[in-house]
Amino acid sequence: MKITDLLRKDGIALGVGAADQNAAIDKLIELHTKVGNLKDAEEFKKAILAREEKGSTAVGMGIAVPHGKSAAVVSAGVTAITIPEGIDYKSLDGNPSKLFFMIAAPDTAADTHLEVLSKLMTLLMDQSFSQKLIDAKTPEEFLDIIDKKEAEKDAAEAAKKAAAAAPATPSVKKLVGVTACPTGIAHTFMAAEALELKAKEMGFDIKVEKDGSGGAKDVLTAAEIAEADAVIVAADKNIDMGRFDGKKVIIASTKEAIHGPEDLIKKAQSGSASVYHHTGTVTKADDSANESVGRKAYKHLMNGVSHMLPFVIGGGILIAIAFLLDDYSIDPSNFGSNTPVAAWFKSIGGAAFGFMLPILAGFIAQSIADRPGLAVGFVGGYLASTGATFAAPGGDVPSAFLGALVAGFVGGYIVLGLRKICEVLPPALEGIKPVLIYPLIGTLLIGLVMCLINPVVGALNAWISNVLTGMSSGSIILLGALLGAMMATDMGGPLNKAAYAFGLASLANQNETGYMIMAAIMVGGMVPPIAIAIATLVFKNKFTAAERKSGPVNFIMGLSFITEGAIPYAAADPLHVIPSLFIGSGVAGALSMAFKCTLMAPHGGIFVFPVVGNVVMYLVALLVGSLVGAVLLGILKKNAQEA
């Protein structure tokens, strides 16, 4: 595939008179629409602007490369415009931008087009080539300039591969490098090209690994790293540094590599770079020095949520299948496991669910402290799910979702603290820190922390149970609202479990009030996933592409009374999501009580609706509560920022 397969004549506009950055973006998107790359221009523009908020895509030298991944992209493509007089695009070098390429990538797995786009980025590092494009008079001339340059580049790459296959000649000027940016589309390859061109000019032999969106290209081998005199890491995101242990390493950003490759190579040449000693830390150049505490915490949280999501979805759907295949009439209290086939599906789904909280906590801790944090966070999440206390180490009162969040952050910062303390240890002990000291002491400390947190949750449960028992003799509508809201507050945590336990106790009374209480509890637990699913379809700009893809699955989970389907969304934005779901579920619980709906089964979701008393109004309560929750999500949540 050639660059001109993605950049067509109709997607080029020369000598454009754009007043500012926004006008340039609009023109480039208009060209994408014209050639049929987009199905929703406004949605794609949101992805472009979200990327610009993370840092300008004007890379300097008069060039800007706005780019975005979005479900609004039908097919990958590039559009181009020139603005000869230049506009302010917040360039890295402060100069006006005159040449613009906009990359539209579908929000799917990486494809061949990413390799082609990386080639375009490297070509743009040649300023004479860029100037020819700015001076082009027609789209045909513009494309011809690209074709000729691409042919030269392909020939040079072929010669480079041939030389690499030939017997190596000894050299004392061997370098290796890695470049990486968050999207892996533009800056990754431009930084690599800048380093390669400058190294060649200065007489160095260099190989650069490009950590792109389509995966790593030109991956460094262990032998190449061992032979290198120094390593240059130009990265704006986390990369694995363990393979560079004992090597002289220069750590920089892609911006530094693009605009100052000579300085980085000279530093490598001088031998002044520090020898890198790996302690399990994943390193990035900037390390988000300018990020707020809240933004850093959000990144850690999302690392846990993204890894947890497959367990929630896979386990939830399997449990829903178990309900679908089971026979409710055999034993209502054991619904989901009455038949062998249903029990098999439920056991597998339950196993997946069992990993959910440890995975959440483990990967939050890993984001904070890298691999040593994973084990500590994982254990903390497990203890949150089992409810270990000093009195009952094997499990007593689970703190569930909220406890796992605490475990993830506490576990990560425990390991960071241990790393700081261990700096005073002799270098000879460096190797045992990540394999002995961090996991041993970290696991012990997180165990102590969780044995302190879980009893607090137990006391809270006991108090809540007493309060609910007292309320059961008062207003049943208020009680229904409270029980429904509790089911949505922490989704598997102490409030949710306290409400559910109260419902089970009420069923034992075998009276209408007890059955009404159970109905209110189940409808309150069904609302959160359904409200999420509706909101992801109606308020698309409030959710990331990954969240929108997973959204419809929550219809299945909600209808199956699997409240945990909403956990990833609540974890990602608890301050806005939980209040929305709290109110929606509270409304549903109150309406269920007001309509005097009853339920004699402790679970089952839509699969036990045939035995629900006043089922039509029960559906009304479910629908109204879900819509209230969805609308509040649309109002309270901020627009999502795509990565």
| Tokens at 239, concatenated | 């990369």
Beta carbons of 566 and 532 less than 8 angstroms apart = yes
Q: What is the mean pLDDT of residues 605-630?
A: 92
DSSP secondary structure string, 282-338? -B-SSTTTTS-HHHHHHHHHHHHHHHHHHHHHHHHHHHHHHHHHS-TTT-GGGTTSS
Q: How confident is the model at residue 450 (pLDDT cuts 50, 70, 90)?
A: very high
What 3-state DSSP class applies to 641?
Answer: coil
**Residue of 32, 67, 113, 576 with catalytic role:** 67
Taking only the tens place, the pLDDT of each residue in 343-399 is: 999 899 889 888 988 999 999 998 888 888 999 999 999 998 888 888 777 667 777
Q: Can you tell me the distance from the alpha carbon of 537 to that of 579, in angstroms, rounded to the nearest whole number?
A: 20
Q: Can you tell me the distance from the alpha carbon of 560 to that of 603, in angstroms, rounded to the nearest whole number?
A: 9
Size (the chain), residues: 643
Quick one: pLDDT at residue 316?
Answer: 73
What 3-state DSSP class applies to 370?
Answer: coil
Query: Considering Cα of 626, then 398, then 335, then 512, what sign does the dihedral take?
Result: negative
Q: How confident is the model at residue 284 (pLDDT cuts 50, 70, 90)?
A: very low
Q: Can you tell me the distance from the alpha carbon of 593 to that of 309, in angstroms, rounded to the nearest whole number?
A: 33
Quick one: pLDDT at residue 328?
Answer: 76
The pTM (predicted TM-score) of the whole model is 0.51
Of the candidates 380, 387, 354, the residue with the CA atom closest to the CA atom of residue 365? 380
Of the candidates 328, 333, 330, 316, the residue with the CA atom closest to the CA atom of residue 504? 333
Q: What is the mean pLDDT of residues 140-155?
A: 89
Query: Considering Cα of 457, then 463, then 465, then 467, what sign does the dihedral take?
Result: negative
Q: What is the mean pLDDT of residues 573-594?
A: 94
Beta carbons of 462 and 450 less than 8 angstroms apart = no
Q: What is the mean pLDDT of residues 604-627?
A: 91
Q: 44 to each of 49, 268, 430, how far by Cα in Å?
A: 9, 41, 48
Task: Quote the mean pLDDT of the chain.
Answer: 83
Q: What is the mean pLDDT of residues 220-245?
A: 85
Q: Can you tell me the distance from the alpha carbon of 160 to that of 209, in angstroms, rounded to the nearest whole number?
A: 15
Would you call 51 exposed, middle or buried from its count of C-beta atoms within 10 A (0-12, 13-18, 19+)?
buried
Q: Can you tell me the distance from the alpha carbon of 560 to that of 526, in angstroms, rounded to the nearest whole number?
A: 7
Helix (H) or strand (E) holding 602: none
State the CB neighbour count (10 A cutoff) for residue 340: 8
DSSP state of 90: -
- Decide if 181 is catalytic: yes
Quick one: pLDDT at residue 568?
Answer: 84
Of the candidates 589, 567, 588, the residue with the CA atom closest to the CA atom of residue 578? 567
Of the candidates 549, 517, 493, 530, the residue with the CA atom closest to the CA atom of residue 606? 530
Taking only the tens place, the pLDDT of each residue in 184-206 is: 566 788 888 889 888 888 888 89
Q: Can you tell me the distance from the alpha carbon of 606 to that of 540, in angstroms, rounded to the nearest whole number?
A: 27
Quick one: pLDDT at residue 183?
Answer: 59
**Residue of 32, 113, 181, 300 with catalytic role:** 181
Helix (H) or strand (E) holding 446: helix 438-471
| Tokens at 379, concatenated | 């254990």
Q: Can you tell me the distance from the alpha carbon of 523 to that of 530, in angstroms, rounded to the nearest whole number?
A: 11
Quick one: pLDDT at residue 643?
Answer: 39
Domains and CATH numbers, the chain: 3-154 (3.40.930.10), 167-270 (3.40.50.2300), 293-456 (no CATH), 472-643 (no CATH)
Q: Can you tell me the distance from the alpha carbon of 414 to that of 350, in angstroms, rounded to the nearest whole number?
A: 30
State the CB neighbour count (10 A cutoff) for residue 520: 36
Alpha carbon 354 to chain centroid, angstroms: 21
Q: 2 vs 536, which has greater pLDDT?
A: 536
Residue 465, pLDDT above cutoff 70: no
- The region, left, alpha or beta by phi > 0 then psi within -120 to 50, assigned to residue 596 is left
Quick one: pLDDT at residue 524?
Answer: 94
Quick one: pLDDT at residue 170?
Answer: 40
What 3-state DSSP class applies to 522?
Answer: helix
What 3-state DSSP class applies to 7?
Answer: strand
Residue 310, pLDDT above cutoff 70: yes
Q: What is the mean pLDDT of residues 209-238?
A: 82
Q: 463 vs 442, which has greater pLDDT?
A: 442
Residue 36, pLDDT above cutoff 60: yes
Q: How confident is the model at residue 620 (pLDDT cuts 50, 70, 90)?
A: very high
